[in-house]
Every structure is written in C-alpha cells, then in structure tokens.
Structure 1
Amino acid sequence: MTQTRLNRRLTTLDSTFLYFEKAEQPMHIGGCMLYEGLISRDDLARTLLGRLHRLPRYRQKVVFPPFTLTHPTWEDDPDFDIANHLDEVTLPAPADDRVLAEVGGRVYAGMLDRAHPLWKLILLQGRADGNTAVVWKIHHAMIDGVSGVDLTMVLHDLTADAEPPAAPAAPWQPQPLPDPISLLQDAVRDRLTEAVQSLTDSAFRLLRPTELGDRARQITGAATTALPSLIEPAPPTPFNAPLSTERRFAWQALPFAEIRAIRSALGGTVNDLVLTILSGALGRYLRSHGHRTDGVELRAMCPVSMRRPDERGALGNLVSVMIAPLFVGIVDPVERLAAERAAMEQLKSQDQAGGLYSLQQLLNGIPAAWQAFAGQLTVPQTLFNTVSTNIPGPQIPLYLAGRRLLHWIPLGICSTNVGLFVAILSYDQRLTFGLTFDPRLLPDGWCLATCLAESFAELRGAAERLEPQAFTKTAASAPEATATAGR
C-alpha cells in the first residue's frame, strides 16, 4: 500500500457507520485468519509495533466536535497502548473448525471501544492442528473491503523470511488532542468551507448543461431500477428479523481455478457465478427448512467500489451499491446463471451503482447532527434480504511473523433486519464465502455453508458436461478447499 495522505475529518459515508452503530448492530468488519504454526501474543505485538509507522490510522481515535456541528475527526491517541488492541483466547476441545467458528463468533460480536483506536485482534490458540487463528475487527468508518485488503497487505510479508520494514526516522510523537474550543473552531471552518465548495460546484454545473444532464439521467436511471425495491418489500426469510447482540460465522472455500473453468464453459463474470452459487445455496437452505421458493426472488445489496487506482491506500469508504436479485426459485443452475447474468448486465447498463453514488453525495448537505439522530432511530429495513460483497484479494500466499496465512475468512456486518452477511474473498487460489450471521435468526449456519458447496458442485457439473477439457487442467493444481470448511 503506497503512502497516501489520509483525511483528518471523516466523510459523510464514513461517519454513517458511527451514527448507525448500536449494541445489536456493531459496525466493524474484519476476518478470521488461520496461520500455520504458533504465533504468540508477543510475536503479534512485535510485528504490529514494527509496522505502525506505516499505518498512522491505527494510532488514531475518533473525536466528535461539540454539538455534532460536523462529522468527527481522526486524532492521535496520546494514550495509545498496543495491549488495548490484543486479546488471547484458548479454544476448548476438540478445537476444530466448528469450535473456532463458535468462539470466534463470540469474540467478533460486540462494539469496539471508542475510547481507543477502532481496531482489535484476538488470537485463538489451542487448535488441534497446532495452527493459530486471529480474528480481526476493524471499524467500517476506517475501511471498506478494498482498503481492508490494502491494509492487510501492509501488515503481511510476501515471503516467510522477509526483512522487517525500515524503522521510522524518528519515534512516533502523538499530536495533543484538540481542546473543545479548537474542535469547535475547526468544525465551523470546515462547515463553511464545505458550504462554499458546494455552492461553487452547483454554480459551475449550471455552466456545464451537458454534465448536469448526464448526472440527472444517471440519477433517474438509478432511481428507476431501484424503484421495485422501494415499492415492494423483499420476500420474508428466517434471517430477516430484529437482531440480537450475538454473532457467529461459518465458511466455504472453493478452488478459484474451477471458478475460472466454470466461467470459461458457461460465460459470465466471477461475480455472476458468485451470485448464482449464493442464490442456489439460499434456495436449497430455504427449501430444506420448509419454505417455498417457486418464483421467489430474494435481494442482495452488493457494495461496488468506486475507488480509482490512484486512491488505493487512502482508507475510508469509497463505495456505492447495487440491489441484485437472487433467483432462489430457479433450480436449474445454468438457467439460474443466465438469469443472474441478464439481471446484472441490465443493472450495469443502467449504471445503478453510479446513480446511487450520485444520490449518496446529496447526503453531504444534511447536517451531521440530523444524521446522528436519524442513525439511532429503529426503522425496519425491507429493501433487501442479505448483503453480498465480492472482494479481490492477492492470489499468492502472505506471511505474518514468518507464518503462512493458510485461510482468510472474510467477516461482515449484520444490520437492521439483515441477520446474514455474505463476504466473498479470493486469496491464494481459493474463493472463500464467509458467512456472518445472528445465531438467533440462523441457528445452523454450517448447513448454509454445506448448501454453498452443493450449489457450486451442481454448477461445476453442468459446466464440465459442456466443456470437460476445461476441468482436466484444474484437477491436479487445485488446492484443498471445500474439505477445509467445517472440519
């Protein structure tokens, strides 16, 4: 990750994750990372301390201005102590994947302490295989999925024997926390600057009627494609209900080479295949629990990165969304893929993500205090059933403290009436579906993980029948994947 100047004041979108946070809706994302061999707490602390100069945000906390006049700022924490950000837990017997998911889900639940920088790592020791798991919790106000991968790359090495990064020229000296008067002055100045900038931008748009027309068409197109979701609530499911404070996770890892082979045989993008596998799995799960799926289309909110290449490393959130249909009622995998492809191509052609991103920018004009107040209201959410985010990661192994990262299980947020978050991450020739869920709403998450494997297998079978030669090349090279889930 290149050294990029970080913004001091949170953006409207970054701040939203703070304003909408509640006990039953903690707004951190993260992952469960499984490393080869033993990593001690001292090893982890030493590795992190040797890289914090490359991660200034890791030593900054959120400070709110008086009266919530504008959004909060990131300020150096003068009392920063790495001990506040590292915990260690020993897994009970049999210390397998199921126990890891149970205990890991418990430590992943719960809000981060805003008195400190908004991140935490929990080592899970005692696995039967001798490996070490680490649950990472990082507030969504700090990162999105893409910047989270960037941050992970900074903390890891590309080889087991890599030299540690060069030490900084001078020891870190935190800037003193601003006093309330300074915070108020900064807030007033920034708010006035934003108002002037907004007026200036609006004035110049009037001088560019073509640009203004394009933006209006973009917003209109997005509103038109999203209109069905606004008018008609998403179909009810067992995992769409008020949340508890509990969290668990499960996962299913698939060989990425075979995903590519399926794409070669059947067409579509990797994301089309991901949605096809997910919708097939959800259909199987619902039918196995006595729910009819004939003609049912669930909805997934799919984050879309709006980050330009020159914005990599900037942290924060630069995302829009698309509301994608999940055709859980289509049993035939090839037919289901065709339906997903057609739906996603239509959403892309209408630039739903771009239009919703433009609409999102209109929130910048709403006072921060109003946004903070709105965030604490409890309003039922019926637009979508789940969240599905597909994040590209490195296809080579990473190392932490000399230990290879074997598996990277992405974890997400369960938010209002959405008790299932599906994060998909490609890493080291695997495509891993990480399921974060509320066990009160989805008590058998591993059943859904098994449904993912079955949905993948039926799609793979259909592709292999059409183009068997595409799979002969992958059989010998595919890493162990599905066997690692739920062992």
Structure 2
Amino acid sequence: MPGRRPPRESESIVNKDRLTGLDASFLHIEDGSAHMHVAAALTFEGAPPPYEELVQSVDERLHLVPRYRQRVAFVPLGQGRPRWVDDPHLNIRYHVRHTALPEPGDEDQLRALAGRVFAQPLDLDKPLWEIWLVEGLEDGDGGERFAVLSKTHHALVDGIAGVDLMTVLFDTQPEPVVPPERGARWLARPMPSGAQLLGEALVERLGGPLEAVRAAGGAVRHPRRVLGGLAASAVGLGSFVSSSIRPAPSSPYNVEIGPHRRFAWVRWDLPEVKALKDELGGTVNDVMLTVVTLALGRHLYHRGISTEGLELRAFIPVSVRDEHGPGVTGNQVAGMMAPLPVWAREPTTCFDLISEAMIGLKQGGQAVGAKALTELSGFASPTIMSQAARLATRGRLFNLVVTNVPGPQLPLYLLGREMIDFVPMVPLAPGQGVGVAIMSYNGRIAFGLTGDWDAMADLDDLAGDLRAAISDLVEAAGVGAKKKAGRSRASA
C-alpha cells in the first residue's frame, strides 16, 4: 500500500503561517474603539541610546523573530482564517519611533504619553508591532532616564510563553552581546493573490475531516491518555460554560468604550508579596487578586455605588501550552472566570474567599475547558467564528480582565542600560472600561491599569485605591509588624 504523499514545501509553509482560531479572534474583536494589542512601558537608567543605534540593534535581531517581518493577509469573502505573509515593504524605521517628553519629564507625563500611544491602533496592513524610544525622563533627583514603549498585537505574540522582539533585544549583562549571525540576506516571499489565498483556505477546509481521522488514529494508539484528556476537558467545559452563560453583574466598568485610553501604574515589592502568601496560606496570584478586589471595592464605594452582595467577575488568562508539543506557535492561552467579592471589606476575609474560589476553579478544570473551546474554534467556519467572537464581547461574560505574568527575576539591559521598571498593559475589549495587567521583574511587581478615557476619568483614583488596598492587606496580615526595619510600601 503506497504511503501518504508528504506535504509540499508550499503546503507546510501555509499551514505554519495560518493563524489559529484564537489568534484570528483577536482580529475579529478589533474595531475602531477596541484595539487588541498588548503593550508595556519600560524605564531604563542612564542616557538614552542614539535612535540609529536602537534601529540597528532591532535590525540585527529581527531574524530571531521572523514573524515580526510579516503582516496579516485576510482570505477573501471570509472563507478561511487569515495567514501571515512576508511584508515586501518592511521599513524598520516605521516601527521603531522616537519622541521626547517636555520638561520636567516626570512620570505623570510618561503615563499620559503611554496612554496616547497605547490608544493608537496598529496598522493591519503592516507588521503588527511598534517600539517607541522616549527621551527626556528624569528620575526625580535630577538624574537622567529614558523609556521604551512597546506595542504588539495579541494575534502576534503569546503574552505568557511567546518569544517577542523585546525579549531578544535584552541582555542579561551590562556589556551588549553580539547577536547571532543573520545568514543570507532576507528576501520577502511574493505576496499571494486573493485567488491564491482563497484557494489555499478552501483546500484546508476540505482537509479538516482528514485531520479528524488522523486524530482518531492517535486516540487508538494512546487510548488512556486521550480518554483522560477528554474527561478533563468535559468537566472543565461544564465549569467554564456554566460560569459563562450567566452574565456578569452590571457595573460602571462595563459601558460602551471609545478609542482613547488612560494608563496608570502601581509598584510593589515581590518579597512582601511572598511574605503575605506564606502568612495567609495561598498563592501569589491569590494575593494579586485580593488587592485588586479590595481596590475595586474601595473605588466603587468612593463613587457612591453600593457593593453589598456584589461579586464582580474577572477573566484570568492562563497558559495552557502542552509540554509535549514543542514548536507549537500562536497563542496557547485560555482562561478562568474568577469571582471578585468586592463586598468583602475585611482584607483577610477577602483573601480567604478568593483563595478558596481559585482552588475550586482549578479543580474544576476551567482552563482545560476553555482550551477545548479555543481548539474547537479552529474547525469552525471563519465567518461563524468572527460573529461568535464579537457576540462574546457583547454579552458581558465578565467585568474586566486581570492578567498576572511572572517575569525574569534578574536585571535586564538594553544596549548597556539597565531596565528598572517593566509595566504591562492589557487591551480593552468592547464593553470593558478597565483592565489590570500585573508583571513581576527583578524583585518588584508592577500593576498596569488601563482605562477607557471617558469611563475611567478617575483612573488615578483607582491606582490610589490599589495602594491603599496593599497597605490594608499588609497590615491585616501582620506582615509589616514582623519587619524590624519597617515594611516596604507600594509606591506610585
């Protein structure tokens, strides 16, 4: 019996470059008000590098992240998921930009600039990333600093496990490391025509049933592993769907949003967070969710809104990468619907409620269930998936996104300058007026608060409520009293 014909090189390229159902959904959700890029504000010690030096550094490393040389090509008539194609007009200076703060160059000005930059959508006809070099930042004592604002579309990079351009730009030592050789000069592959894109997509759709048969063959070879996975997925699906079909409670955070953004941040020392986790008997993520919940409760109270019996719902992205599947590209992220009991004003009570709820969600396999749904999206009609993605954001499935990403616990350097802060930004989906992104770096934690310009005119007040919530939890747990030299405090 003749063997199956191996795929042609062109077929394997197309398969590799086809967006997953989840990645494509980020493009479907995007509209004039909701821009689906993740971002970060990075602060560095010392004088800024010359702009041309930064451009050269990016150019020398772009081959390490080849997806950053590609743009999205949409299939005509919506008959297939988009795919990545080489951009024949790639211009690095379009993507690496340069600006400066006016005097005095303080953090308030940097936050305002970040809000404006993060509010600008990425051009879907070009590679979906930007880097902004920001000069003129002072450290408060007259010293010099600079910042880098990065933007990358969610369809391009996995926020938890992916390798992005900023990753390859950093060194782990002050002396800049020479990047690996680029090899032969890069030449963009020809842009496929609309007819070619349509033909490829139709062939792939016809091949869908064959993939299902191959998957069934794998089930026969590994029945115990597959049945165990099916059982976990079934339980998780039940948990995830049951929490999703009930709409989240109404709140002032869930309104029609506009295109403009505000951005704020709060810092915290990681050792204090770990001390709280050890004292209270939960996880670092439990601590993060507790202070966010307490802050939201305070914020609603200050707005004159009753929180009695109110439990908001947060979407918590979690990594669901398969350890046995190296080389898988695209976002491998699902999520859990976590209750935020904003009615609980007593900090340790709030912590206990959240810790217990998170244990239940993990035992119920919500993340596994959500992963199963995202995998099913890969077999659905692209038109159906587009409509489903938009409808999902209009049904108020959750009140806000809270994402917590562990970062490197060692100093990183950009062209010999040490990075001292890494503040993440999470995008706002339609109907989501506020979002919280959390990231640890080199012994510190940064909360990045994204707010719709109109819905969250008091975003700085929410940042103040978060600082107060941190202090309240530290005091209630008695962690600060155990430090001889006093406790570290959350700072602006």
Q: 2 CA distance for matches of 1:368 and 1:294?
A: 43
Partner of 1:10: 19
Instruction: Work out whether 1:67 is the aligned partner of 2:77.
Output: yes
Partner of 1:180: 194
Partner of 1:39: 49
Instruction: Work out whether 1:233 is the aligned partner of 2:247.
Output: yes
Correspondence 1:450-465 to 2 at 5 A: 450-464=464-478
What SS is found at the alignment partner of 1:127? Answer: strand
Instruction: Work out whether 1:357 is the aligned partner of 2:371.
Output: yes
Instruction: Work out whether 1:441 is the aligned partner of 2:455.
Output: yes
Query: Displacement, 1:97?
Result: 1.3
Moved more, 195-204 or 75-84: 195-204
Gaps of 5+ in 1: none
Partner of 1:400: 414
Q: 1 CA distance for matches of 2:325 and 2:485?
A: 37
Moved more, 81-90 or 415-424: 81-90
8 Å CA contact 1:320–1:353 kept in 2: the answer is yes
Partner of 2:435: 421
Q: 2 CA distance for matches of 1:149 and 1:238?
A: 36
Moved more, 162-171 or 55-64: 162-171
Instruction: Work out whether 1:109 is the aligned partner of 2:123.
Output: no
Gaps of 5+ in 2: 1-12
Query: Displacement, 1:223?
Result: 4.4
Q: Say which of 39, 56, 64 aligns to 1:54.
A: 64
8 Å CA contact 1:64–1:73 kept in 2: the answer is yes
Partner of 2:490: 482
Q: Percent of counterpart pairs with the same letter?
A: 36
Query: Displacement, 1:473?
Result: 8.8
Instruction: State the Cα deviation string for residues 39-82 of structure 1 (Å, max 9, x = none).
Output: 33222211111111111111111112333322111111111110
Q: 2 CA distance for matches of 1:230 and 1:174?
A: 43
Instruction: State the Cα deviation string for residues 216-270 of structure 1 (Å, max 9, x = none).
Output: 5434433443455445432222221011000121011100011111111111011
Q: 1 CA distance for matches of 2:341 and 2:198?
A: 51
What SS is found at the alignment partner of 2:161? Answer: helix
Query: Displacement, 1:381?
Result: 2.8
Instruction: Work out whether 1:95 is the aligned partner of 2:105.
Output: yes
Instruction: State the Cα deviation string for residues 397-429 of structure 1 (Å, max 9, x = none).
Output: 111121111110100110121111111101010
CA 384–377 in structure 1, closer or farther in 2 if over 3 Å, else same: closer
CA 313–421 in structure 1, closer or farther in 2 if over 3 Å, else same: farther
Instruction: Work out whether 1:81 is the aligned partner of 2:91.
Output: yes
The letter for the 2-side match of 1:35 is F
What SS is found at the alignment partner of 2:16? Answer: coil
Partner of 2:132: 122
What SS is found at the alignment partner of 2:378? Answer: helix
CA 190–473 in structure 1, closer or farther in 2 if over 3 Å, else same: farther
Partner of 1:163: 177
Instruction: State the Cα deviation string for residues 289-333 of structure 1 (Å, max 9, x = none).
Output: 111112211110000101245767755200111000111111111
8 Å CA contact 2:393–2:429 kept in 1: the answer is no
Partner of 1:342: 356
What is the count of residue pairs matched by the alignment? 474
Instruction: State the Cα deviation string for residues 375-409 of structure 1 (Å, max 9, x = none).
Output: 56696232211101110110111111211111101
Partner of 2:319: 305
8 Å CA contact 1:32–1:410 kept in 2: the answer is yes
**TM-score normalised by structure 2 residue count:** 0.89
Partner of 2:158: 144
Partner of 1:19: 28
Query: Displacement, 1:355?
Result: 1.5
**TM-score normalised by structure 1 residue count:** 0.90
What SS is found at the alignment partner of 2:478? Answer: helix
The letter for the 1-side match of 2:51 is R
What SS is found at the alignment partner of 2:191? Answer: coil
What SS is found at the alignment partner of 2:160? Answer: helix
CA 202–359 in structure 1, closer or farther in 2 if over 3 Å, else same: farther
The letter for the 2-side match of 1:372 is S
Query: Displacement, 1:273?
Result: 0.7
Partner of 2:303: 289
CA 278–102 in structure 1, closer or farther in 2 if over 3 Å, else same: same
CA 85–11 in structure 1, closer or farther in 2 if over 3 Å, else same: same
Two-structure CA RMSD over aligned residues (Å): 2.6
CA 227–177 in structure 1, closer or farther in 2 if over 3 Å, else same: closer
What SS is found at the alignment partner of 1:360? Answer: helix
